[in-house]
Structure 1
Amino acid sequence: MEIMFEPLTAQNVDQARLLNAVLFPGLYQPRFYSEVSKSIGQVYDGFLVKQGSSTIGGIICRSDRDNGSCRLYIVTLGVLAPYRREGLGRQLLKRIEELASNHSALSLYLHVNIGNDEAVSFYTNSLFQIKERIPNYYRRTNPPDAFLLQKDLM
C-alpha cells in the first residue's frame, strides 16, 4: 500500500493526538492539541504519514522567534514500530527542513530523553549535535534527564 505525507491541519490534529498517545503515552495533554489546532501555519506545523486510512507516523514542530531570527522546535517525531527503519523519519525531517527554509529558520532543535538510545542515534546520524545535557527535564520518565540536540541549517 502506498505511503502518503499529509500536512498537519486542524481537521487531522486528532489523528496526531491518537498516534502520539501510542508513541508518547501520557506526555501531551488535550490542551496541547487544542493549541496546535488553533495555530497551525502560524506557530505550529507538521506532517502525518499515512498508509491508506491509517496514520503510521508524524511530526509536529513549533516556530520560535527571538530577536528577528527563527528556529523550529521539534515537539514530536515518531513512527509506529512496524514501520521504522524504512526512511519515514528521515523523510519527515526532510519535509521539516524544507518548511524551515520557507520560514528562514536558522536551526532545528529538540529534547530527547538520555535513555532513548534509538532516538539519540537517529538524530545524531541526521547531523544533529548534542548541545547539552539537562538534568531533570522530564517529570514522568526515568531517567529524567534530556539531551538538547540542534541542527544548524544556515
Structure 2
Amino acid sequence: MTITVLKAYRRYGIGSQLLAQAMEECKRGDVSKIYLHVLCSNESAIEFYKSNGFTIKEKLLNYYTDLDPPHCYVFEKSMLEEGQEAKPVEAAQPAKEVEAQ
C-alpha cells in the first residue's frame, strides 16, 4: 500500500491524520509492529515518520527498480504499550476435506 499527500495539500495535517487512523486500525487488529519504507532522498518523509515515533531499522540498497536513487530506509514502530507483550500468532488450521455429494 502506498499513502501519499499531494504536494499542494501538505502541511495541513492530512498525513498525520491518515497515519493516526492507520495506527488505530493496526491496534484494533492486534498488530504489534508497523514497518514501512521511505526513499532515502525523501527528507520530509523521513522527518515525518521520525516525529511520529518510527525509527530506522535498516537501509536497503537498490530497493527500487524505477527510481533514482533506488535506496530506501526501512522504518519500524512498535504498536505495543510499554510492558505489553505481543500476542502469539496462531497457526492456520488445515482445511477440512468436504465429501462430494
Taking the aligned partners of 2:57 and 2:49, their CA distance within structure 1 comes to 12
Q: How many residues align?
A: 80
Q: 1:122 offset after TM fit, Å?
A: 0.8
Is residue 147 from structure 1 mapped to residue 68 from structure 2 by the alignment? no
Which stretches in structure 2 are left out of the alignment for 5+ residues?
81-101
Q: Which residue of 1 aligns with 2:41?
A: 115
TM-score when normalising by structure 2: 0.76
Give the structure with the larger strand fraction.
1
Q: Which residue of 2 aligns with 1:5?
A: none
What letter corresponds to residue 85 of structure 1 in structure 2? R
Taking the aligned partners of 1:109 and 1:76, their CA distance within structure 2 comes to 12
Give the number of the structure whose alpha-carbon radius of gyration is greater.
2
- Runs in 1 of length 4+ with deviation above 6 angstroms? none
Q: 1:121 offset after TM fit, Å?
A: 1.0
Identity %: 38
Q: 1:83 offset after TM fit, Å?
A: 1.1
Task: Compare relative contact order (CA 8 Å, sep 6+) and give the higher one, 1 or 2.
Answer: 2
